[in-house]
Structure 1
Amino acid sequence: MNELREAAAPAGTDLLDERSRELADHCAAMAGRLRAIGMRLDQDPDVITEFLHEPEVRFPVQGMLPPEYRSVGEFPARLVEASSTVLGQVVATEQVSYGDPNVLLASPGPSLSGGAVQALADEQQRKRYFGRLTSSPTHTFFALTEPGKGSAATELETTLTPAPGGGWLLNGVKCYIGNGARAQLGVVFCRRAPGPWGIEAVLLDTSAPGFSGELLPSVGLRGARISRLRFQDVTVADEDVLGAQRSPSRRGLYGATYILYRFRPGIAAMAIGCAQAACDYLVTHRPTLPRRDRHRLDSVLDRIAAVRHRTYAVARDIDAGVVDVAGIGAVKARAARVAEDATRLVAELLGPACLIEHPWVEKTYRDVRAFDLMEGTTNLHAMSVFQRLLRDRAAPQPVTERAVDGAARH
């Protein structure tokens, strides 16, 4: 698999400093191994348990953990620290996804729920959550999306009501939740009271009575284990309500929007990694192309470089305390589109039997179609850009609690 990286000298990386480039090189070296694992995950996502000891699988999770919970000495500290920023997560995710994004999605670890815990939890909640993740391999979930409302955080129908003997009762259904049916721990967003500030986020152990989860059939990106979750009078203790020490405007809704903005560039990075990998695969297997086809490939490569540059810029801005909500959505939508176009072009130029003769291309062709749906569909992000233009808010806003609250209301 060494040839995987021979053609990959990604353009659009001028925004990276020396440490970020070193991180990119470190993750790029994992691509061959991750691609082989990804092919197996497509057949059975549960085989990830066979590879949890592999450094290629363990490293990408380290940057998602708070410093005190990382595996000290197992990986270079400077690279783990670099991967903990939004830009670092984007760089690492792109290179890992060049190998296979299913490995990252199938692996145990904090995922989006860890971001919610870091944003909202008190010290005891943080210790319980991250302590459990580091004591044994633990899959987690982030349950926001609902069957009838999608990921509209202000329209949730899952309820949190007072229990007769104290504490709370959780009732409702969540849908399209990554790793939900096989997770041991997760964060559920629910409604305690009317209005946007009536949203709460609660920690949930999936062994709780009344919880059930089922896997949904998936055409691609099967490592994500997309699931439907049901809650029927699930007991939630007071200490499991995240951010109870905060005012209502700084709790559930704030956590949902803040985390989505920070993690959305990572979905763009996954799409970019897959798109670049597809183009490089084509060059490896058809090094000589007719001039017209070469121009078509170059056009896609230029688009990949452009969206990579914008994704890095958006990530760097978030690290600097600036969030451009419409811009974040725009790069995610553009990355998803170019990944689809890249795999479509590769399949065409490799010939009519390509999806049979090249199993990796067939799998990637299926996988990248998921990115349009993850973290908001393209039409929603296009609407966000349009609304931003109408409001003439071209200048990015600081990432403060007030800015995130204002974005959530829109």
Structure 2
Amino acid sequence: MPETVRSATSHGPRPRGEWTDALEHFLREAARDLRAPGAALDADPDAVHRFLHLPAVRLQQHMLTPARYARDEDLLPRYVPAEASCAEWILAAEWLAYGDPGMTLASPGPALSTAVLRALADDAQRDWFFTRTSDWPTWAFFALTEPAKGSAATELTARLDAAPGGDGWVLTGEKMYIGNGAHARVGVVFCRRAPGPWGIEAVMVDTADPGFHAETLPLVGLRGARISRLRFDGVYIPPERVLGRHRPRSRRGLQGALQAMLWFRPSVAAFALGVGRAACDYVLEQRPALAGAGRAEVDGLLDRSRRLRRLLHEVAAEIDAGSPNTFRVSGVKMRAACLAEDATMLAARLLGPASLIEHPWLDKVYRDVRAFEFMEGTGNIHRRGVFQGLLRDDYFTPRDRDDRPGRAVEGVI
């Protein structure tokens, strides 16, 4: 009997070998189509509308949409899963970022909101949200970060107050650095209904509702993400749009934010890993005769990427199994962001002092990868997480603690 993988879709488990080989081959080919569109988005982020026909652009919406709402069965191969597991999605994210991370983040789809809906929504709420995001093309946003507060979920100031007459709620406040926020049709917003951690709620917002305002922020890199500032001036929220309203207060808004971060941090690591590998391969394409210390440095980075990729897939498997290790998630995200920066700096150095002028693609990714340090927590936050895991002896799995030389160290670095 062939080895199978855990699947989040209604199609059941898929054979591991057949699934990974076919899907990875498709992703590798699809990623090649993203380089030129990525350059166009760097000049004009709204140029994404010119590339909506590409299979790679369809992937995010299809893979992050529950199978019952997916509408791309005739446009994508059968082995491209809807309602992807974390392991399936990070495989796609790595290859798509290898093509172009900005184009991937610019693509339509429910994005990170999917993780919150999975954790908190009832059937009616899923219908409300995914029937809108399954229309092509439709963007959605995930709004947690606030001006002067960052993504500290327990310090939110956006308010959810009772509407006059007691029927529903009114949303007031601001959100900052929200991907595709100014171009989305719907989104999930985290806000505060009462003091304390259990007073946090997650609500679904229709951007056509009165009181919603958004603007795109100017960016130096990763312009395709169309990072936005959002303002809510008394946006009315019907009772049925409060996610998790059927759950206890201790298992509502904050839990949704944590579930989303569990998914998004490995995704950011996959993006960073894909771009880092692309930078190394680009150097070898431009300088095929590279030897000596320069070749050794490139080979060292590629070796780091292979080790990190294995750790990333282990982390994703733990998330899919329902036993995530948040400390390991932090470690992988932190190291992947460092690898991407190291790879682009090495590429710039090995290709010469004018490399960022002579190689427009390298100039673009050199700017793009700096965003990964700030997405889903900066390095100092994740270093603290790794330290806490080591201090509590919760970082390594039993297999990591065996006597094989270097195994434990590899899990951190």
**How high is the TM-score relative to the length of structure 1?**
0.90
Listed as ranges, the matches of 1:4-403 within 5 Å are 17-70=17-70, 71-80=72-81, 84-165=84-165, 166-394=167-395
Q: Is the 8 A contact 1:324 1:396 kept in 2?
A: no
Q: Is the 8 A contact 2:268 2:333 kept in 1?
A: yes
Q: Give per-residue Cα distances to partners, 1:18-54, cap 9 Å, x unaligned.
A: 4123211110001221111111111111111122122
Q: Which amino acid aligns with 1:172?
A: G
- Measure, in 2, the Cα distance between the counterparts of 1:394 and 1:46: 42
Q: Is the 8 A contact 1:214 1:229 kept in 2?
A: yes
Residue 68 of structure 1 deviates from its aligned partner by 0.9
Q: Is the 8 A contact 1:23 1:88 kept in 2?
A: no
Instruction: Call closer, same or farther: CA 1:236–1:112 in 2, change over 3 Å.
Output: same
Q: Is the 8 A contact 1:175 1:227 kept in 2?
A: yes
- Measure, in 1, the Cα distance between the counterparts of 2:248 and 2:393: 31
Q: Give per-residue Cα distances to partners, 1:318-340, cap 9 Å, x unaligned.
A: 11222000100110110000000
- Measure, in 1, the Cα distance between the counterparts of 2:226 and 2:76: 28
- Measure, in 2, the Cα distance between the counterparts of 1:139 and 1:394: 36
Aligned to 1:400: none
Q: Give per-residue Cα distances to partners, 1:78-122, cap 9 Å, x unaligned.
A: 3325x7111111111111111101122111110011221222111
Moved more, 186-195 or 30-39: 30-39
- Measure, in 1, the Cα distance between the counterparts of 2:18 and 2:274: 20
- Measure, in 2, the Cα distance between the counterparts of 1:393 and 1:336: 23
- Measure, in 2, the Cα distance between the counterparts of 1:361 and 1:308: 22
Aligned to 1:5: none
- Measure, in 2, the Cα distance between the counterparts of 1:295 and 1:131: 51
Q: Which amino acid aligns with 1:72?
A: E
Q: Which amino acid aligns with 2:90?
A: V
Q: Give per-residue Cα distances to partners, 1:183-227, cap 9 Å, x unaligned.
A: 121000000011111110000011222221121121100111111
Runs of 4+ in 1 over 4 A off after TM superposition: none
Q: Which runs of 5+ in 1 are unaligned?
A: 1-15, 398-410
Instruction: Call closer, same or farther: CA 1:60–1:141 in 2, change over 3 Å.
Output: closer
Q: Give per-residue Cα distances to partners, 1:158-198, cap 9 Å, x unaligned.
A: 11011112211111111111111121210000000111111
State, as a whole percentage, how many aligned pairs show the same letter.
52
SS of corresponding position for 2:374: coil
SS of corresponding position for 2:173: strand
SS of corresponding position for 2:236: strand
SS of corresponding position for 1:87: helix
Aligned to 1:406: none
Q: Is the 8 A contact 1:264 1:328 kept in 2?
A: yes
Q: Which amino acid aligns with 2:318?
A: D
- Measure, in 2, the Cα distance between the counterparts of 1:85 and 1:393: 24
SS of corresponding position for 2:182: coil
Which structure has more relative contact order (CA 8 Å, sep 6+)? It is: 1
Instruction: Call closer, same or farther: CA 1:124–1:396 in 2, change over 3 Å.
Output: farther
SS of corresponding position for 1:170: strand
Q: Give per-residue Cα distances to partners, 1:359-393, cap 9 Å, x unaligned.
A: 00000100011001011111111111112222333
- Measure, in 1, the Cα distance between the counterparts of 2:294 and 2:332: 26
Residue 396 of structure 1 deviates from its aligned partner by 6.6
Residue 292 of structure 1 deviates from its aligned partner by 1.2
SS of corresponding position for 1:372: helix
Q: Which amino acid aligns with 2:146?
A: E
Q: Which amino acid aligns with 2:249?
A: P
- Measure, in 2, the Cα distance between the counterparts of 1:298 and 1:396: 28
Q: Is the 8 A contact 1:322 1:396 kept in 2?
A: no
Residue 264 of structure 1 deviates from its aligned partner by 1.4
- Measure, in 2, the Cα distance between the counterparts of 1:258 and 1:240: 19
Q: Which amino acid aligns with 1:387?
A: Q
SS of corresponding position for 1:287: coil
- Measure, in 1, the Cα distance between the counterparts of 2:338 and 2:135: 39
Q: Which amino acid aligns with 2:102?
A: N
Q: Is the 8 A contact 1:333 1:372 kept in 2?
A: yes
Q: Is the 8 A contact 2:174 2:232 kept in 1?
A: yes
Q: Give per-residue Cα distances to partners, 1:238-269, cap 9 Å, x unaligned.
A: 11111111111111111110121022111111
Q: Give per-residue Cα distances to partners, 1:123-169, cap 9 Å, x unaligned.
A: 11111111111234211110001112211111111110111122111
Q: Which amino acid aligns with 1:345?
A: L
- Measure, in 2, the Cα distance between the counterparts of 1:61 and 1:28: 18
- Measure, in 2, the Cα distance between the counterparts of 1:154 and 1:395: 28
